[in-house]
Structure 1
Amino acid sequence: MDIRVIIVLVMNFIITLIGTLGYSVRLVGVRTGKIAISFALFNIVMLVSRIAVSIQTPVLTSYVEFSTNSFEVLKVFYIIIVISTIATIVGAFLIPTFQKILAKGVIAFSADKSVSKIVLHGFSKAGVRHIKNSIAIPVKESVTSIEFKKLPKKLLLTNAIIVAISTAGALSPIYAGMLAPSYGRTCLALAGIINGIATLLLTMFTDPHLSIMTDDVIDGRKSPEEFRTCVIGMVGSKAIGTLMSVALLVPAAYIIVFVAGIIKG
């Protein structure tokens, strides 16, 4: 396998894994009562994801530009989607551990008010010991006890669609550039519009609903268990949405080529 493909798969795994762990940040905020600090510390972890994105996109684009076999490229894209799905599942299993680690970080930051101290502590012997002690294996009851009738089905469906659009939006413009090399730069530029639409949908429909639920838990109108069930459902819908992007990838690429042709006249 081409080394560039391996780099892309590793970066994509990291990006998706961190994105999945992000669903648990509100749970940590509710547990510690410090939602703002929870998000502030998670943003440090998100820096790793942003670096991975900045590496993944040019490396993948380079691979596609020097490839002459569109079937092989499409196969690589499907592998990327499968890896994203696996990363989501792995992230789901790591959420209990991540919650404990982040909660300890939130409490430590509240006391020391120093990000650098927390980061350095994480690499110390005591920090490594704390991380080991935080390892938690998800129990089967976490899934079997879910009351599926109470899940916010519209929210989960919306989230799955947004994830599908976002996943396809990251890959389709690059594939479109291979289908129509003369429109390559225009196709890549259209990626920003697609991701912008996904971000808009996320901001309008998903984030507000989760924020309301977070406030309801803090105010006692909803139980932490109900919120935890919703988060599990969101992770599940992310995995489903990632797989749904398989059906969008090629049609979206041809639509992008069509739009690029109109733009270029």
Structure 2
Amino acid sequence: MSTQVIIVLILTVIISIISTLAYSVRIVAVRTGRIAVSFAVFNIFALISRTANSVQAPLLAKTIENTIKTGNPQSLLSTFRWILLSTTLATIIGSALMPTFIKIFVKAVESFSINRSIPKLLLHGFSKSGILQFKNSVTRPKKENLSHLKFLKIMPKKIILLNTLAFSISTVGVLASLYAGCLNPELRTTCSTLSAVINGLSTILMVIFIDPYISILTDDVIKGECTQLQFDRCIIFIVGGLIVGTILAQILLVPAAQIISFIAKTI
């Protein structure tokens, strides 16, 4: 395994953990009542997680060129499957870390509300007292959280499906376009460009369906029309959809590459 691929695997794990932990900010928003501040933090995380997959292309460029020279795209396929597997494992790790980071984010939001300065907040996080607070916030996931998954009927099936589909598309988009370029070396620039269209589709699904639903549910909690427990269950289903989405990406990788290849030949 080349150095570039190892770097991609490490970055993928970090990015996927951040992407998953971002949803804990939603819970913090409800618990602290600091909706605007919490969502501002969430938007930073969401922006990072939804655009960071684009770094895979330049880092994998040399590996792709070597694959094209040898004429063996199957070797690249195994590399991509390792990257998708690392995404799945990192998403599971991120979900396990959520109870700890919920406590940390609660303290961070409260601190920011007082100091009103991101630099001061970051400096405090790396200070002796900030590190001590982090150690005290470490929390093991509770089995009761998984038991909430049995309440499937409280969540709209369409939201669950669209959330899973959107995340699987964003996960596989760049890799599928790169693989399509290996299948058709003469059209690899066109295939690579189409990844932006695919990720754009994922973003549209998130912005139109998923994010508004969670925002409305947040308002319902604030108004007392929805309980904190119901909101927590919603986030658990959303995070569960992320995990399933990464697994679905394994299945979609080759078909998506073939579709991208076909589109590249057609346009």
Band of TM-score, shorter chain: over 0.9
Shift of the alpha carbon at 1:224?
A: 0.5
Tell me if 1:101 matches 2:122.
Answer: no
Cα pair distance change 1:33/1:163, threshold 3 Å: same
Please name the residue that 1:92 is paired with: 95
Shift of the alpha carbon at 1:217?
A: 0.6
Aligned pairs, how many? 263
Superposed counterparts of 1:159-170, under 5 Å: 159-170=163-174
Choose which of 142, 148, 151 in structure 1 pairs with 2:155.
151
Question: How many Å separate the matches in 2 of 1:149 and 1:48?
Answer: 32
Conserved 8 A contact 1:9-1:83: yes
Shift of the alpha carbon at 1:18?
A: 1.0
Shift of the alpha carbon at 1:22?
A: 1.4
Please name the residue that 1:247 is paired with: 251
Superposed counterparts of 1:7-86, under 5 Å: 7-45=7-45, 49=49, 53=53, 55-67=55-67, 68=70, 69-86=72-89
Tell me if 1:126 matches 2:139.
Answer: no
Cα pair distance change 1:102/1:59, threshold 3 Å: same
Deviations 1:185-224 (A, max 9, x none): 1111111111111111111111111111111111100000
Shift of the alpha carbon at 1:100?
A: 0.9
Q: Percent identity?
A: 48
Please name the residue that 2:194 is paired with: 190
Cα pair distance change 1:255/1:45, threshold 3 Å: closer
Conserved 8 A contact 2:16-2:91: yes
Tell me if 1:207 matches 2:211.
Answer: yes
Cα pair distance change 1:194/1:54, threshold 3 Å: closer
Conserved 8 A contact 2:181-2:191: yes
Report SS of the residue matched to 1:250. helix
Conserved 8 A contact 2:91-2:243: yes
Deviations 1:154-176 (A, max 9, x none): 21111111111111212110001
Report SS of the residue matched to 1:87. helix
In structure 1, stretches of 5+ residues that fail to align are: none
Shift of the alpha carbon at 1:61?
A: 2.8
In structure 2, stretches of 5+ residues that fail to align are: none
Question: How many Å separate the matches in 1 of 2:51 and 2:215?
Answer: 27
Superposed counterparts of 1:210-225, under 5 Å: 210-225=214-229
Please, what TM-score do these two structures have when normalized by structure 2? Answer: 0.93
Conserved 8 A contact 1:11-1:53: no
Choose which of 227, 233, 240 in structure 2 pairs with 1:236.
240
* CA RMSD across the alignment: 1.8
Report SS of the residue matched to 1:66. helix
Shift of the alpha carbon at 1:38?
A: 1.1
Question: How many Å separate the matches in 2 of 1:120 and 1:44?
Answer: 18
